[in-house]
Structure 1
Amino acid sequence: MAGGAPQGAAEEMPLKLIAEAFDGLAVAVNGAAAPGGRGLEVSSFSHACSRVSVLFGCLGIAFKFAEMDYVAKVEDLKVASKSITTLESMLELDIEQDCLRKAGSHSRNLLRVKRGLDMVKVLFEQILPALILVNFNCRGNSLRDSASVAYAQVFAPHHGWAIRKAVAAGMYALPTRSQLMRKLNEEESSARIHMQNYITTSTPVILYINELFLSRGLGVDW
């Protein structure tokens, strides 16, 4: 095993925790989206999202901006969950208070968290084909191409030239795929399962959040 810690040490296996959290969140989304659904709880959503934070930290300096921003936004949603029950009511409250697009609003933070989830989804989609191959060369062990695609698709359209340039430089300091597996305390075989699970379960979550905004004519590109 890459990390050497016992399988039972769940707290040292973040991919497993992420997969389990999003299994539960996907079920909650299905219930919230069903006829008569009462909405998705802010507490359930923020708890699952908090599991993803450690992954940004494992990617190093290239995604340090994402780690700091994501962690802060998830924490804001956690605090909001103490007084606001569902994402729907949170959005409506920001609309009523005319603070929807203001920096620091819960709804704006929700969009940023959603982008973080989307970036991880695309990253895993890019990594998985390499994990399926038994034999890979040194180039195949690099995360640079996978991370560059994920950044370009999700974050780059919302960043200015200076940030994009800094991220591009940071890509050269990314861990290799093997190093990432060690940091996550995973064998490649188990990582494949957890990554595919996250891809599958995060998709309806991301779509659900998009629909919260799009159904109200608010858009998601701000």
Structure 2
Amino acid sequence: MANHAAEEKPLRKMAEAFKDLANTLNSQTLDEAAKMEVAPFSHACTLVSPLFRCLGIAFKFAELDYVAKVGDLAEASKSITTLHTMMDQDIQANCVRKAGSHTRNLLRVKRGLDMVKVLFEEIIAAEGNSLKDPASKAYTQVFAPYHGWAIRKAVSAGMYALPTRQQLMIKLNEDEVSARTQMQNYVASCETVISYIDKLFTSRDLGIDW
């Protein structure tokens, strides 16, 4: 039973994967352009998918969209080495903002990571057993500006079906103390990764609000 429990730690796996990504970025010297490989990035992103599933119907739209976009990046990693190169190829092909482009999908994936980061920050700061306020704040801050009325209304209705804080801990196979630690680890590491991705976009005058 202990071995099985050790294997089923989705929160720990995602926190460790993003810590590895952040360490890779932080280890690169100031006089070289920071590069992140597509393969380890897309793999780390796949480890976030179970969290969306644990949140239930309120974030079903996010799960479906996120999984599809991460799948595209994973496929791209078979022929493209770095995020840097991937974006430059889309720019050269003049397809950055077209639906289905790797760069557009990267931006959508980044928002998914950011939503989870804000959710964890709110859960850490919140008291009580309800996840409605943390989840609502995370959705409103990250996703809502890009969604139409119908999706926002559906998400709002779905918030009433969210698991409780205790139920989420059980699904993630963590207790309150261990979950808080892993959430804090993810937040810190993901901040580094998101900042890097934002710089990839802004340094190419692409912006991040589209």
TM-score range, shorter chain: over 0.9
Preserved CA contact (<8 Å) 2:35 2:82:
yes
User: What's 1:185 paired with?
Assistant: 173
User: What's 1:202 paired with?
Assistant: 190
TM-aligned CA deviation for residue 32 of structure 1: 5.1
SS at match of 2:173: coil
* Alpha-carbon distance change, 221 to 141 in structure 1, aligned in 2, over 3 angstroms: same
Task: State how far apart, in whole Å, the 2-side matches of 1:218 and 1:147 are.
Answer: 29
Give 4+ residue runs of structure 1 displaced > 4 Å after superposition. Answer: none
Q: State whether structure 2 residue 43 is matched by structure 1 residue 43.
A: no
Task: State how far apart, in whole Å, the 2-side matches of 1:123 and 1:190 are.
Answer: 16
User: What's 2:62 paired with?
Assistant: 66
Task: State how far apart, in whole Å, the 2-side matches of 1:127 and 1:7 are.
Answer: 28
User: What's 2:134 paired with?
Assistant: 146
User: What's 1:102 paired with?
Assistant: 98
Task: State how far apart, in whole Å, the 1-side matches of 2:65 and 2:30 are.
Answer: 32
Instruction: Give 2:150's aligned amino acid.
Output: A
User: What's 2:113 paired with?
Assistant: 117
Task: State how far apart, in whole Å, the 1-side matches of 2:162 and 2:192 are.
Answer: 29
Q: State whether structure 2 residue 23 is matched by structure 1 residue 27.
A: yes
TM-aligned CA deviation for residue 19 of structure 1: 1.1
TM-aligned CA deviation for residue 8 of structure 1: 6.3
Task: State how far apart, in whole Å, the 1-side matches of 2:66 and 2:50 are.
Answer: 10
Deviations 1:147-171 (A, max 9, x none): 0000000000000000000000000
Task: State how far apart, in whole Å, the 1-side matches of 2:56 and 2:87 are.
Answer: 33
Deviations 1:120-140 (A, max 9, x none): 00000000023xxxxx6xxx2
Q: TM-score, normalization: structure 1?
A: 0.91
Task: State how far apart, in whole Å, the 2-side matches of 1:105 and 1:67 are.
Answer: 19
TM-aligned CA deviation for residue 114 of structure 1: 0.2
Q: How does 1:154-169 map to 2 (within 5 A)?
A: 154-169=142-157
Query: Aligned pair count?
Result: 210
* Alpha-carbon distance change, 211 to 33 in structure 1, aligned in 2, over 3 angstroms: farther
Can you give the 5+ residue segments of structure 1 that lack an aligned partner in the other structure? 131-135
Task: State how far apart, in whole Å, the 1-side matches of 2:29 and 2:93 are.
Answer: 25
Q: TM-score, normalization: structure 2?
A: 0.96
Instruction: Give 2:10's aligned amino acid.
Output: P
* Alpha-carbon distance change, 106 to 189 in structure 1, aligned in 2, over 3 angstroms: same
Preserved CA contact (<8 Å) 1:32 1:40:
no
Task: State how far apart, in whole Å, the 2-side matches of 1:78 and 1:6 are.
Answer: 32
Task: State the superposition RMSD in angstroms.
Answer: 1.4
TM-aligned CA deviation for residue 33 of structure 1: 7.0
Task: State how far apart, in whole Å, the 2-side matches of 1:50 and 1:11 are.
Answer: 16
Q: State whether structure 2 residue 82 is matched by structure 1 residue 86.
A: yes
SS at match of 2:21: helix
SS at match of 2:39: helix
SS at match of 1:9: helix
